[in-house]
């Protein structure tokens, strides 16, 4: 039910549809329940922002969509479809075409995502030739065009630079250029501005939003920053302990959060706060994903928790059209009729 409002939001079929996604990391010592029954969908051209604290399952969800989780340790179940294709059923060439062709990913730290022994230009050229074919000269021309698109100064010289020769902001722009190199319909961005200073962060956000609008890309953007979410997203999905606990249009969620966790996130940031008002931190710590508490995962930290919260994880409730929250204190529209 989590994703029902996004599926009904438009007439077009969603480009991304995730239903009951579960990810477990199994070791000899324990099983980590990283993602637990996540359901959502994203319409063509829409920007969905997945928001939550570190360890809430945001990045794991994105990596599951790209089939980048280690197959030996990760147990993935549920359904994931991108452009109608069953992601978990893809093999060989079809899987390679998903990665880079149909969908592309911008990672959090470009210094570890880019290969240090090749120039950034060589890495983009290889990507273009792998997915689109053509000559080396044509692929280099494409790489140069992309560097100009993402506003890298002196693009021809920077094509022949190694990752360590570029600043953090330029590396991230090169990473964005590589992600865009084959014209993906879906862009996954995993906290792409976290490692950058504030000024560069704003520049990269403006760049990503401009490119998304110009190219019409569907985008899933992962962040823990409410300010980033408010700037770039159309819709927001709030994750806690591997579950989506609230979802809806970004302006409505930030103006009138329904779930106590979302309310706590807003109260614990300076974004939108009045001068002189104290910042209220969420008490306690996120739960151990090896031993999730019974019932609502946020219950032990929730200021309005009640005994019924421990009986089972709350079902999705719809407080208003296009919104969802998993909390017993949220009034479901169905209850008002």
Same domain, 94 and 231: yes
Same domain, 175 and 264: no
Same domain, 194 and 332: yes
Same domain, 127 and 8: no
Average pLDDT of the chain to the nearest whole number = 88
9 pLDDT band, cuts 50/70/90, is: very low
What predicted TM-score, i.e. pTM, was given to this entire model? 0.88
Tell me the per-residue pLDDT of 270-321, one tens digit each, with 9 for 90 and over.
Answer: 555 556 666 778 888 899 999 998 899 999 999 999 999 999 999 999 999 9
Whole-number Cα distances in Å, 286 to 4, 137, 298: 27, 51, 8
Exposed/middle/buried for 15, CB within 10 Å: 0-12, 13-18, 19+? buried
- The edge-to-edge listing of strands for the beta sheet with 324-325 is 103-106, 186-190, 218-223, 47-51, 235-240, 243-249, 324-325
Same domain, 57 and 124: no
Total domains, the chain? 2
Question: Where among 139, 168, 183 does a domain terminate?
Answer: 183
pLDDT score, position 277: 65
Same domain, 161 and 57: no
- Tell me which residue range forms the domain holding 151: 110-183
Same domain, 243 and 265: yes
Same domain, 233 and 323: yes
Mean pLDDT over 8-16 rounds to 71
pLDDT score, position 16: 97
């Amino acid at each position: 039910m989590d994703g029902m409002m996004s599926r009904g939001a438009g007439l077009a079929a969603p480009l991304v549809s995730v239903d009951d996604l579960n990810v477990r990391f199994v070791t000899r010592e324990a099983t980590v329940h990283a993602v637990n029954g996540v359901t959502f969908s994203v319409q063509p051209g829409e920007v969905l922002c997945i928001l939550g604290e570190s360890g809430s399952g945001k990045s794991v969800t994105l990596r599951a969509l790209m089939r980048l989780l280690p197959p030996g340790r990760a147990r993935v179940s549920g359904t994931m479809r991108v452009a109608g294709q069953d992601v978990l059923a893809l093999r060989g060439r079809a899987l390679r075409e998903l990665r880079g062709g149909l969908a592309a990913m911008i990672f959090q730290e470009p210094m570890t995502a880019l290969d240090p022994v090749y120039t950034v230009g060589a890495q983009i050229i290889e990507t273009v030739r792998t997915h689109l074919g053509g000559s080396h000269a044509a692929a280099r021309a494409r790489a140069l065009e992309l560097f100009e698109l993402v506003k890298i100064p002196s693009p021809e010289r920077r094509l022949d630079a190694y990752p360590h020769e570029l600043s953090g902001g330029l590396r991230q722009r090169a990473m964005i250029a590589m992600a865009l190199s084959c014209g993906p319909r879906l862009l996954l961005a995993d906290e792409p501005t976290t490692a950058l200073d504030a000024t560069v962060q704003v520049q990269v956000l403006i760049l990503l939003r401009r490119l998304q609008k110009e190219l019409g890309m569907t985008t899933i953007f992962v962040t823990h920053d409410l300010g980033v979410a408010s700037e770039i997203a159309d819709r927001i999905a709030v994750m806690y302990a591997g579950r989506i606990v609230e979802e809806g249009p970004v302006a409505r969620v930030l103006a009138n959060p329904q779930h106590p966790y979302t309310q706590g996130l807003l109260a614990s940031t300076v974004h939108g706060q009045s001068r002189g008002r104290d910042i209220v931190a969420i008490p306690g710590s996120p739960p151990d994903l090896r031993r999730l508490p019974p019932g609502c995962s946020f219950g032990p930290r929730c200021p309005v928790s009640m005994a019924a919260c421990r009986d089972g994880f709350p079902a999705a409730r719809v407080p208003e059209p296009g919104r969802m929250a998993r909390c017993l204190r949220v009034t479901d529209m169905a209850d008002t009729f």
